[in-house]
Amino acid sequence: MWIGIDDTDSPAGMCTTYIGAVLVRRLARAGIRVVDARLVRLNPNVIHKTRGNAAVCIEAEGDVEAAFALTCACVEELAEFDAAETNPGVVVSEIRLPPDFYYAALRDFCNVGEAVEVLESVGARYRGYKNRRGLIGATAAVASDFPDWTYELLAYRKRENWGTRRQVDRESLFLAEKTTYPHTWDTVDQENDVVVCVPHTPDPVLFGIRGESPAWIRKARSYVRSEEQACEQVYTTNQGTDAHLVPGKIGELREGRSYLVRGMVAGFPTTGPGGHVSFSLEDDGVEVRCMAYEPTKGFRDVARALVPGDVVVMAGSYKGESLNLEKLGVCRLAEAVRIRPPVCPACGKRMTSAGAAKGYKCRVCGARSREPEVERQERLIRPGWYEVPPTARRHLARPLARGVPAWQQVLCD
């Protein structure tokens, strides 16, 4: 059977993955064999998310009625029912749902009616609390299909420590990253000297280690020194896979979806208030604004190094009519040239324009020239892929340390 839960937390506390971890233990104690625990990230652009739009799916074998009762009891005991925006959903299905609903919730927007229709069609057991919105994520989790996946080990805090400052030794996290990267990633951000894997929100998570296999994340975890933890859970996850991205075409992008788009840089990047960098990308005469926001730190230098004529592919969500960049591939660099009036051969002063299509004139000696000075500028970037730093990375975004999948590379060739 597949057990799905979602929408159990609020900004003030709790985390659906924690309830998943507790449930895994309660199921095992009840004689229900847990085969896999999945942390399923859904469309990062939904407005109702608390933090990272996560849902949980537990694959298990045993008494279905008992599993449903245990799951509902666990959610009723632990979910933040008092929070206005918390609307839990529980699903248990003996039939593997087709992945369509998962892909819709991952890349698009869904409603409760659509989720219920899917659940009814397979005779799944389900319970939606309050406005039942959590049924969307719970159904998507049960329907989830991971053609590519990674792992995350989540360590949880003892209840008496919830809401207090987390005690996790910083040096041990840097050592964990140094020893196990690129098999694990995003424990820390070396370049920006920041710890990434320890949240600052008042939920039960102590830290999370992401990586390519349970063995590697456990190895990284073995270096971490921290306050005593309550328990930990290794999740199989679609994090770090780019599962949210689909190929997109400028002019046909839809709000709140995430794309990989090929185009030509159409104007020099500019840095606006707050340090956000923006530039236009063009394809077939249609343009879209691309944004590299301030939190993407050094990635903005890559954006700033682009010039008109560069052929690139851009990955990111289309929001507020701009593509918010997660990574970019430089396919072909244009020649960057600076054109300006020549220096007067007679007196060494720089000439000025003599008027439209009239060439240049020396204001000192009156000499004339038709040709401007063309200066080839050295390019500061090379063809290849560039990404935002770990501090700015979205859960679903695939780190370059994992390589670039063929369908993305093809767009850049």
Residues that bind ligand ATP in the complex, under the rule CB under 6 A: 6-7, 9, 15-16, 42-43, 46, 48-54, 87, 105, 109-110, 133-134, 136-137
CB of 199 to ligand ATP, least distance (A): 9
- In the complex with ligand ATP, which residue's Cβ is closer, 106 or 333? 106
CB of 128 to ligand ATP, least distance (A): 9
- The CB-of-175 to ligand ATP minimum distance in angstroms stands at 28
Nearer to ligand ATP, 143 or 330 (CB): 143
Return phi, psi of residue 81, to 5°: -60, -25
Give whichever of 156 and 223 is closer to ligand ATP, judged by the CB atom: 156
> With respect to ligand ATP, which residue has the nearer C-beta, 150 or 180?
150
Fill in the DSSP letter of residue 226. B
Q: Does residue 314 contact residue 387 with C-beta atoms inside 8 Å?
A: no
Least gap, CB of 242 to ligand ATP (angstroms): 17
**Closest to ligand ATP by CB, 9 or 387:** 9
Least spacing, CB of residue 350 vs ligand ATP, in Å: 58
CB of 20 to ligand ATP, least distance (A): 9
Closest approach, Cβ 10 to ligand ATP, in A, equals 7
Three-state secondary structure of the chain: CEEEEECCCECCECCHHHHHHHHHHHHHHCCCEEEEEEEEECCCCCCCCCCCCEEEEEEEECCHHHHHHHHHHHHHHHCCCCCCCCCCEEEEECCCCCCHHHHHHHHCCCCHHHHHHHHHHHCCEEEECCCCCHHHHHHHHHCCCCCCCEEEEEEEECHHHCCCCCCECHHHHHHHHHHHCCCEECCEECCCCEECCCCCCCCCEEEEEEECCHHHHHHHHHHCCECCEEEEEEEEECCCCCCCEEEECCCCCCCCCEEEEEEEECCCCEECHHHCEEEEEEECCEEEEEEECHHHCCHHHHHHCCCCCCEEEEEEEEECCEEEEEEEEEEECCCCEEEECCECCCCCCECEECCCCCCEECCCCCCEECCCEEEECCCCCCCEEEECCHHHCCCCCCCHHHCCCHHHHHHHC
> Of 6 and 242, which CB lies nearer to ligand ATP in the complex structure?
6
Nearest distance, CB of residue 138 and ligand ATP, angstroms: 7
- Helix/strand number for the chain, H first, E second: 9, 24
Residue with smaller CB distance to ligand ATP, 201 or 213: 201
Nearest to 388 by CA among 316, 286, 308, 331: 316
CB of 201 to ligand ATP, least distance (A): 8
Instruction: Report the residue number, 12 or 354, with the smaller CB distance to ligand ATP.
Output: 12
Measured from the CB atom, the residue of 109 and 146 that comes closer to ligand ATP is 109
